[in-house]
């Protein structure tokens, strides 16, 4: 007695074992891929994808080591300042948020929000105020 009469992916008539669900490995793979695509994205994937995007944007805009850019430019590209890997506080108590080796500091200048972009420096690790989020 056959459990499935047709391939779950393409609908072809099945031959062979009675518990067969797919006509070939490609249909099985395609079926699993479609099924996985329909599931909501897992939290870990959302965080990881946003961190990767943030790093890519910061890297693209920080070619000189220290740059100031309008926040709206980065936000339009999908940058989300709530996703970062660690922070560093300087002696003036400015808190730089970092996405791996690329950091940013939020500033208001002339009523507009801006980001000061920096790259991680060796001296930052020696600062006792530097901390990482676990």
Sorted by where each begins, the domain ranges of the chain are 1-39, 47-132
73 vs 42, which has greater pLDDT? Answer: 73
Tell whether the model's pLDDT for residue 132 goes beyond 70: no
Tell whether the model's pLDDT for residue 114 goes beyond 80: yes
pLDDT tens digits for range 96-109: 999 999 999 999 99
pTM score: 0.65
Provide the sign of the torsion angle of the four alpha carbons 123, 126, 130, 133, taken in this order: positive
pLDDT tens digits for range 1-57: 556 689 999 999 998 888 899 999 999 999 999 988 888 778 888 999 999 999 999
Look at residue 2 in the predicted model and tell me its pLDDT.
58
Look at residue 127 in the predicted model and tell me its pLDDT.
47
């Amino acid at each position: 007695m056959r459990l499935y009469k047709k391939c779950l992916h393409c609908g072809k008539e099945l031959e062979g074992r009675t518990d067969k669900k797919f006509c070939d490995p490609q249909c099985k793979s395609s079926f699993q891929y479609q099924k996985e695509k329909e599931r909501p994205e897992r939290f870990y994937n959302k965080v990881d994808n946003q961190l990767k995007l943030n790093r890519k944007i910061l890297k693209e805009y920080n070619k000189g080591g220290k740059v100031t850019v309008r926040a709206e430019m980065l936000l339009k590209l999908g940058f989300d300042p709530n996703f970062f890997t660690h922070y560093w506080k300087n002696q003036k108590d400015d808190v730089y948020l970092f996405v791996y080796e690329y950091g940013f500091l939020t500033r208001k200048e002339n009523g507009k929000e801006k980001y000061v972009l920096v790259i991680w420096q060796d001296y930052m690790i020696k600062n006792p105020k530097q901390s990482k989020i676990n």
